Amino acid sequence: MNRLAKLILGYLAISLVLIGLGFGWLYINSFQDLTLVAPAARTRYITLYYATEDGTGKAGRVDNVVINQPIRLKKGRYVAEYVQSGYKKVTRQIDLSDQPSQVSFTYDRTEAELQAILEANRSRIYQAIRTSYPDLLDQFNIAQEGVYDNGTWYGAVLRWRGDIHSDKRDSLRIVLHQQSGEWRIAAKPYLTISQTEYPGIPMAVLTAINVINARTSEPSQPSYGTTE
């Protein structure tokens, strides 16, 4: 074999190696890490799907997904869903590209579930109010009420029962918090509940309670029994 042939073969060998390295790099670079983050108790309610071309639909389930650990996936579009009974469905559209991606979820109970929690706890809540303020629910109707933050906080607007010209005619707001299975007063009855005075109450709870108009709903009559 003459020198020219050897040079050609050497060049071809080097070219093939470079091409192989190039394809190898392209293949490796076509993957990226995705981490789906969730508390251990909620991981089984999360599913990852390949996305349709527009990135919004589901084109098939991704198998062998491990939550809270990086998953090596082909770059592209994915859809992650959190679906649990009693909680609002959460959908995350994911565009996995040049940087690792970390996706988390929110866990908010449905309105129906919150209402069920309120119904189940209403008697205990009223009893807690009466224990701290024995005459309050005799003087005020509960104009509007609700549970918040997945059912661990309760807020109500109280409407004066008596003479509208009384100096007590203004509506009051009250907040309770469930701790260790018991409802306790978290904010005493007042016209508005201040975050400065009660920094431990979540802002979303304060906002929801402070914007309630006491005249938008019919008052409820408290029941003072207990619920097992």
DSSP codes joined into one string, 73-92: EESEEEEEEE--TTB--EEE
Average pLDDT on 46-61 reads 89
Alpha-carbon distance of 46 to 39, in angstroms, equals: 11
Q: Give the separation between CA 214 and CA 217, rounded to whole angstroms.
A: 7
Of 18-32, 119-133, 140-154, 160-174, minimum mean pLDDT range:
18-32
Neighbours of 134 (CB within 10 A): 9
Q: Report yes or no on 219 lying in a domain.
A: no
Residues 6+ apart with CB under 8 A from 53: none
pLDDT of residue 55: 78
Residue 222: pLDDT above 50? no
Instruction: Tokens for 129, please give them.
Output: 């109010």
Residue 2 in any domain: the answer is no
Q: What is the pLDDT of residues 102-156, one digit of tens each?
A: 999 988 999 999 999 999 999 999 999 999 999 999 999 999 999 999 899 999 9
Contact 183, 121 (CB under 8 A): yes
Give percent of the chain above pLDDT 70. Answer: 77
User: Is residue 7's pLDDT more than 70?
Assistant: no
Domain shared by 42 and 133, yes or no: no
**Do 79 and 130 have their domain in common?**
no
pLDDT at position 170 is 79
Residue 102: strand, helix, or coil = strand
Please indicate, yes or no, whether the overall pTM of this predicted structure exceeds 0.75. no
Last residue of a domain, one of 60, 85, 108: 108
- Are residues 104 and 156 located together in one domain of the fold? no
Lowest mean pLDDT across 20-24, 174-178, 186-190: 20-24
Q: Quote the tokens at residue 158.
A: 């109280």
215, amino acid identity? R
**What per-residue confidence (pLDDT) applies to 74?**
92
Same structural domain, 103 and 120: no
Q: What pLDDT does 111 receive?
A: 93
Q: What is the DSSP string of 120-187?
A: HHHHHHHHHHHHH-TTHHHHEEEEEEEEETTTTEEEEEEEE-S-TTSTT-S-EEEEEEEETTEEEEEE
CB 48 within 8 A of CB 61: yes
Answer yes or no: do 102 and 130 share one domain: no
The count of other CB atoms within 10 Å of the CB of residue 145 is 19
Among 86, 101, 102, residue whose Cα is nearest residue 45: 86
Q: What total number of domains does the chain contain?
A: 2
Mean pLDDT of the chain: 84
Is residue 212 very low, low, confident or very high in pLDDT (cuts 50, 70, 90)?
A: confident
